[in-house]
Structure 1
Amino acid sequence: MGNPEIYECEIEKSLRIIGGKWSFLVIRELFFHGTKRFTELKSAIHGISSKSLTETLRHLEENQVVIRSIHATVPPTVEYRLTAKGEAFSGILLEMKKWVRDWA
């Protein structure tokens, strides 16, 4: 397995890419409801602050899970959608939903 001090398992890598709890909810919204603007995401995710949403979206964009598109309107329209990498995470979301149905 290598040196335990530098070994990072796939789950740890996944969590580093995805980020915290808000990331799961952002991905959920974009997967089940499609492209959304910042205010739409904020309204859909109960309890998230603007600061947390901004940080989460930046993290997901840096990790190529989300694409941010800016449209030349006044004021500019910014939309977020999943990349192929983000869409590939959908199976995990569906399994999480199944797990809750079975065990919660």
Structure 2
Amino acid sequence: MKNFHTDGFCPVRDVLGRLGNKWSLLVLITLNANGIMRFSDIHKSIGDVSQRMLTVTLRMLESDGLVKRKIYAEIPPRVEYSLTSRAESLIPLLNDLVDWALQNMPGIRESRNLSV
């Protein structure tokens, strides 16, 4: 049996806890697909995320070193977001997860309908 928390800290649980929320993966995938983006463009691309939740998600991803925020000293101020190299190393795995979800969603929906 593999033990993921030999020192009381579980890296798998920690990373999945941060990335497994409703919006983080969508933000990362959106930034990967579009490159450098402004807040309003990310918001439009995702659609149903609130501005507050998008702000919280971007700050969390920035604190984990996955998203880079660049502020331009202009009036009005301009802020752009992009992926870091750490996030770029995660993208192939996320793409595999997206592909898996797209391929398996019909069967998952069918299974859900059978269990109701």
Change (3 A) 1:52 1:3: closer
Amino acid at match of 2:98: K
Q: Tell me what 1:21 maps to.
A: 22
- Higher-Rg structure is 2
- Give me the whole-angstrom Cα distance separating, in 1, the residues matched to 2:52 and 2:102: 32
Q: Tell me what 2:10 maps to.
A: 8
Structure 2 unpaired stretches of 5+: 106-116
Structure 1 residue 61 corresponds to structure 2 residue 62: yes
State how many pairs are aligned.
103
Q: What TM-score comes out, normalization by structure 2 length?
A: 0.78
Change (3 A) 1:2 1:98: closer
Residue 19 of structure 1, CA deviation = 5.3
Residue 17 of structure 1, CA deviation = 4.2
Contact 2:66-2:87 within 8 A present in 1 as well: yes
Q: Structure 1 stretch 53-62 or stretch 94-103: which is displaced more?
A: 94-103
Contact 1:38-1:79 within 8 A present in 2 as well: yes
Q: Structure 1 stretch 92-101 or stretch 67-76: which is displaced more?
A: 92-101
CA RMSD after TM alignment: 2.1
Q: Tell me what 1:96 maps to.
A: 97
- Give me the whole-angstrom Cα distance separating, in 1, the residues matched to 2:11 and 2:17: 11
Identity fraction in percent: 33
Instruction: Pick the structure with more helix per residue.
Output: 2
Residue 9 of structure 1, CA deviation = 5.0
Amino acid at match of 1:28: I
Residue 60 of structure 1, CA deviation = 0.4
Structure 1 unpaired stretches of 5+: none
The 3-state SS of whatever aligns with 1:79 is strand
